[in-house]
Each structure stands twice: as structure tokens, then as C-alpha cells.
Structure 1
Amino acid sequence: MSDAAEYPALVLKRGEDARLRAGHLWVFSNEVDVKRTPLTAFEPGEIAVILDAAAKPIGVGYVNPNSLICARLVSRGLDHALDRSLIVHRLNVALSLRERLYSEPYYRLVYGESDGLPGLTLDRFGDVIVGQTTTAGMERLKDEITEAVVKALKPQALVWKNDAGIRSLEHLPEYADIGYGELRSPMIVREGGLEFECDPIGGQKTGWFYDQHANRDRLAQYVRGKRVLDVCSYLGGWGLRAAAMGASEVVCVDVSAHAVEQIRRNIDRNNLGDRVTAVKADAFDELKRLREERSRFDVVILDPPAFVKRKKDFAEGRIAYRRLNEMAMQILTRDAILVTCSCSYHMPRNALLDSVQQAARHLDRNVQVLEQLQQSPDHPVHPAIAETEYLKGFICRVLPA
């Protein structure tokens, strides 16, 4: 028996272990037998053994009495303590998948629950690792995570990008800083033979959206020789990839001046200035302006931020997706391609497709769905945890009725 047997116990009510035994990793506060094990007895992030009502161990996890999801299971049974050794093992298992998938070290290395480390995200940019902890348990294990990353990967630097709003649900502060080593030069991601400069401290999320890598790989047959508009471009990932795949002209649009400045640097870095331009503008305003000046594009790519961040935002967010798709269709040529995506977990795939279809009918257009898109395989879906599948999209052909 490992040290795990010495952790304090968190006991569940009768029958509340079924979801965990079916593979889920979350415990909600109303599932705990607080008479036997009061949640107030635990410190935020404290490691515990999770027991069913008959006091049989389910496994080892961590507790946060201040959160609706009050515990997360990290390992089943009592064979493993929750320590650096377990984290190193999980890192190596995660690494073996990514090394099978990618020829270069640019990918999401750890995707939380799906990689057995709930509350932890690690993105790899060559010899720089950018991490996020979104739970008190992982925040408390930060030193052990750092040691495990150094042991498994020997990086030049580990940056903690802990400024996500979701941390407030766990009563955690927001910050971004270097946790190990030093950044000696701008952080670079390589994708599709191109190089993109990223900002791990001031940029969005962890600096790059690896979840769209596989989808960007599918662009070539649609963009060759075409005029392309990349809306909500961020660092130009879709647009520059399209240009490298043979698009005749690409316009990248983003509302952030910082992002547009970085797109321009990435255009120069990849010698694509003859075909790619970057425009600072709100997506809706720019689509309206392009329609009014009768601009037309053969391919429009929509990769907006999440419009439905919470369940209660669904109705409003759905209207925003429909409106964005409708405005994009108004600037398409007669036989054109629309790539449309949503990273909102609370926007189901069928609801996104409905938004596209409603937009098409309103404009008297026909849509053919050519390909369905999902997150890249370095963001594996956990079959028992629906929340691990959030990205959805479609490559559509849009025709006159």
C-alpha cells in the first residue's frame, strides 16, 4: 500500500459513486456525506482519499470546499500517492501520444482530465512549456508539476499563464509569470512549415490555439488559387497557412491591435507579404464594411472566441453565431467555401449547424456540409466527460438557391 492510505477521507453519500465508477472524475459538493466528512475540514487543494458510502476506496484526488466541483479524482485505488512520481508518469504517457502524432515538439502536451491530470494544461513550444492550473489542487501541486516537467522534458523555461477567468470559480488569483528557467528569445510555434511568434505572457490562452491544428491542415484543397478572408485571426494561423497552401490573396482580421501587430510580424517572418494583409477591426463591423463595398471572397474562415461561455448565454450566443455566418455568406462568391467554428462547449454541434442553415435560408442560399471539424488529437476526448469535447466546426460549400 502506498502513502495514499494516509490521506484524509472524503466520503460520498449512498449511490453518489456511480458516476465516478463509470469513468468520470468530478465530485459535486451535494454528493458528499458532510456529516461524516465535513467539507469545511479540508483546505483548498488538499489531497484526499475518496470513499463510497460503504467506506470502500474509489481513489485519490484533491478537494476544494469553496467550489461546486468540490473534488477531482486523479488516480483510482490506493496504489499511488499524488506526488511528483505520479505526475512524471502521467507526463510520460501523454508525451508518448504526442510524439506519435507530431514530428516536431509543438502541441498540447497535457489536456487536463483527458490525460489524467484534471485542472492542468501544458502546451509545448519546443523547449518552452506554457502551463495553466485552473483548480486549487493543481495550484497547490505547482512545485511538484514544475519538478516533473523539468525531469521529463528538461525545458529551457516553464511559463505559468494563470490568468484565466475560470480560476475565480476556485477562488484563485490571476497571474502570469515565469516559473522555471528563462525566455531567451521570442517564443515560436512551428506549424505546416511556417513559424509563428507567440506571446506566452500577454497573449491569449497559452499563446497559440493548438486545437485547430488538424483543421488547418485540411485547408489546402479549398484555398489553392482562391481569395481568402480569415476572421478573428488572432496570430494569423488560418490565414498564413492558407497563403502557404497557395491562396492567391489573404486578408486577416482581428479586433486586437496587439494581435494584428503580431500577425504582421508573422507575415514578414514567413515572407508572405505579397499575399497576406492584416486589418484591425471588429469582425461584425468589417464584414458589414466589406459587404457595403461589394468585396467578394472565395473562402471565408470564422474562428471566433466563445459566444456562449455559460449555459445562460446560449440564446444570445446562438443569435451571434447565426449573424456572423449570415454576414460571412453575404461576401462569398457564387460557389464558395465557408469554414465555421465554435469553441463554446455550451453551443452543441447541431445548434451551430442550425445557425448556418438558418443564415443560408434567410439569404436564399444552399449549404452543403463537406467536412465536420473537431479538436486536434492532442486534445483527446474523455468518453465519460462531455466537457472535454468543446470544439466543433464545418467546412461548407455555399451556393445560390
Structure 2
Amino acid sequence: MEHAPLKLKPREERRLRGGHLWVFSNEVDTAATPLTDLEPGQPVVIQASNGKPLGAGYANPHSLICARLVSRDADKGLDRSLLVHRLKVALSARQAMFDRPFYRLVHGEGDFLPGLVVDRYDDVCVVQMGTAGMERAREAILEALEKVIRPRVVILRNDTSVREQEGLERYTETAVGSAPETLTVEEGGMTFRVPGVGGQKTGWFFDHRENRDRFAAWSHGRRVLDVYSYVGGFGLRAAAAGAEEVVAIERSEEALDHLQDNTEVAGLEDRVAPLHGEALEVLKALREDGERFDAVVLDPPAFIKRKRDIKSGLEGYRHLNQLALQLLSKDGLLLSASCSHHLGMDQLQDAVRGRARHLDRDAAVLARGHQGPDHPIHPAIPETEYLKAVFARILPTQ
């Protein structure tokens, strides 16, 4: 199908010229190019108000973000050739950063492929297509992966809530090969087994790699509490680095089974104690039992998914951090993380400071962490920077 024109209103092209990749519906000159004439995922040439092409992209008339730019060259749309090129560029960056093929290969806008995520587990790729344009390019994506990576298995985890905003159905499917029950991840000299199709996100959280490195390095000799442990990424890395004991809290029975499996594979059964239950309830029970830990890591799911959730979500982070602080020893280490884009680093840090002061304690920030380099941030799109972590020493009031 030929690229349909999508003309912007006067002066609305400034953001795109500055590097952004999104077009919002209120920026389109609908009198000249009606959105109602477009199909979800349809290729378009985005034009300035004077008709000059700004680049090629794809549209979705039913979404607030009604178009996404994929190339500054109006003649190069989202096809197999462009996908192969972008995958090769992304792969070269990962190969320069990592010596083993376990990483996020494509991070949407950060790799100039808006709406596409690809995580690599050696010869298995887990793909998420979050937009109508990427769903429409499904076969071209699979062909490009075959050309660049030649994966043995490709799993489509198209089951995220963001697809509903695009008017897409959720589904999970094995597009290439036969999906294994578990995927293998190598990190920090350890091997982890994660769910093949039923786990959180794509099975593993590659974005926290550097934060796990740092937390593990500071865990030697400490009694550690790993909250929202999932399959044990933080906790088992800490135990392997010499933590005295790790208590890992997880509510998902499937994740807990993988955590126990990973514990056995690492030979750490004598130092890792899994706890099944809702995080907040288990934290309260541990407090009532008088338990104390030298280090606590908090890696909760996003409490703030939309702007209107900021007030309640921020209160949720404060409450969670207070419960954790009540379990910390006199001189303890707290790692407090958030994957909510709408919560800034300073807000998270302030939640730690404020709850510490509420308990008559002081917080000294030792480091601040972010998403890893295989999750590149697009400098014109703040939404691509989402992960933050505060490493704080918690002390009695000085």
C-alpha cells in the first residue's frame, strides 16, 4: 500500500524537527488529511503544513498518538529493508556492550523503532509489538530477525495493556520454532531460568542489570530482604556475592517455583529463604515479628501508569518505603526502585528521605541508578526514560 499523506497544522512540525517521533491527533490538519480516511497501522508520509515531507511513518486514527515516525526519508517506510538495517545497528551496539547474547535488542523509540521491543535470550527472541503499525509489519519483523539474528525460537508476547490503547487484541504465540517452558539468562556469572511464555514482561528484567551488579557488590556479609523478588534476580545475585542470608518475597507461585529452581541451580539453598505472599502484608508480618535486615531492595511494579494516578501512586511508594525502613537495622542499605515514568528520580528520592525522617532516621544517598544501556533513552522523548533506583544508607538521626 502506498504511503498516504498526513499533513500537520502550521508550526506543529517543530517537535518532529527537534527529534521527536510522535504525532498527536490535535497536531494534524484534518481538513486537508482526515484521520478518518486512514486505517490502523497504515503507512503515511508526514508532511509539514506547507506540504514538505518530514519523513515516513505509520498511523493509527484511533489513538491519541496518531502517527509515529520511522524514517526521516519519506521514501523509506517500515519494511523489511528498514527493519534489517535498524536491527543491525541495534545489534552492533549490544555486541559492543555485552560479551554474551542476553539483552534487550530493540527498545522501541530508543532504537528508532517505535512500538517494537525485542529481548534476546541467546537463540530465543521474545518480541512485543505495541502498536498497530508494528502489528501490521509482523511478517517483515520476523523476516528481519531471521536475516540478522537467525533465532531458533521467536515468541510473540503481544499481551501488554498498551495494545488496548491501539485497538489491538492481546495474544501470545510462538511464531518460530517451539517455545521452551523456560528460558535461560546469564548474568553476573550466574544462570537463571525464567518462564518461557507465562512470566512477567518478556520473562526477565534486563533493565536492572547494572543496579543488580551494584547491589550485589554491596551485599557481602549482610542479611538481605528482596521484596517483589520475581525469580530472584536481586536476591540470588546478593547471595552469590556473599550475603549472609536472603529472604525473598514473591506473590506469584509460578515465579516462586522458578526462584526456588534458580536457588538450587546456584547451590544457595542454605542462604536463601523464599516467602510466598503479598509484599505489603509480608512486610507488616515481618515487622510484627521483630525481624531486622541489613539491606532491603524494593522493586515493585509501576504504581503510577497514568498522570491521574500520580497522587495515589506516590502515596503507595511512600507507604512501601516506610514499611521497608521499619525493617532496616540501625545502619542499613535501602535500594528503592520505580519503573513508573511519571515518578521522577527526585520524587523517589524524596519519598525515601521523607519516610526516613518520619521514623526519626536520616538517609544518605550513595548512588542513583537507571535503566541499562540496552534500554537507550531517546533524548527528545522523556517517556523512554522510566527506570530509577535510589541506593541510600539509612542511619539513626545524627
TM bracket (short chain) = over 0.9
CA-atom RMSD in angstroms: 1.1
Q: Identity rate of aligned residues, in percent?
A: 52
Contact 1:234 1:263 in 2 (8 A): yes
In structure 2, C-alpha distance between the alignment counterparts of 1:336 and 1:231, rounded to whole Å: 15
Aligned to 1:104: 100
Task: Report Cα offsets for 1:21-68 as digits up to 9, x if no partner.
Answer: 000000001111111111111110000110000000000000001101
Kindly indicate whether residue 360 of structure 2 is the aligned counterpart of residue 351 of structure 1.
no
Report the 3-state secondary structure (helix = DSSP H, G, I; strand = E; otherwise coil) of the residue aligned with 2:218: helix
Asked if the contact 1:255–1:280 (Cα under 8 Å) also holds between the matched residues in 2, the reply is yes
Q: Which AA in structure 2 matches 1:233? A: S
State the AA in 2 paired with 1:194.
M
Equivalents in 1 of 2:24, 2:216: separation in Å?
45
Alignment of 1:161-176 (within 5 A): 161-176=157-172
In the alignment, is residue 90 of structure 1 matched against residue 82 of structure 2?
Answer: no
Q: Is the CA contact (8 Å cut-off) linking 1:156 and 1:183 kept in structure 2?
A: no
* Corresponding residue number in structure 2 for 1:129: 125
Q: How many angstroms does 1:257 deviate by? A: 1.3
Q: 1:39 aligns with which of 35, 38, 41?
A: 35
Taking the aligned partners of 2:181 and 2:289, their CA distance within structure 1 comes to: 42
Q: 1:369 aligned to 353, 365, 368, which one?
A: 365
Distance in 1 between the 2:147 and 2:110 partners?
22
Corresponding residue to 2:187 among 191, 194, 204: 191
**Structure 1 residue 183 displacement after superposition:** 2.6
2:214 aligns with one of 215, 218, 230: 218
Letter in 2 for 1:41: D
Q: Does 1:9 align with 2:8?
A: no
Aligned equivalent of 1:253: 249
- Contact 1:27–1:72 under 8 Å retained in 2: yes
Q: 2:297 aligns with which of 286, 296, 301?
A: 301
Q: Corresponding residue for 2:381?
A: 385
* Partner SS state of residue 218, structure 1: helix
How far, CA to CA, are the matches of 2:297 and 2:189 in structure 1? 20
| Contact 1:240-1:267 within 8 A present in 2 as well | yes
Match of 2:238 among 234, 239, 242: 242
* Partner Cα separation in structure 2 for residue 239 and residue 159 of structure 1: 27
Q: Is the 8 A contact 2:57 2:77 kept in 1?
A: no
Q: How many residues align?
A: 397
- What displacement does 1:185 show? 5.9
Alignment-derived partner of residue 52 in structure 2: 56
1:200 to 196, 199, 216: 196
For the residues of structure 2 that align with 1:116 and 1:200, how far apart are their CA atoms? 27
Cα deviations across residues 239-279 of structure 1 (Å, max 9, x unaligned)? 00001111111011011111111111111121111111211
CA distance in 2, matches of 1:201, 1:41: 37
> Could you say what secondary structure the match of 1:154 adopts?
coil
- Displacement of 1:81 in angstroms is 3.4
3-state SS in 1 of match to 2:134? helix
Is this contact kept in 2: 1:111–1:378, CA < 8 A?
Answer: yes
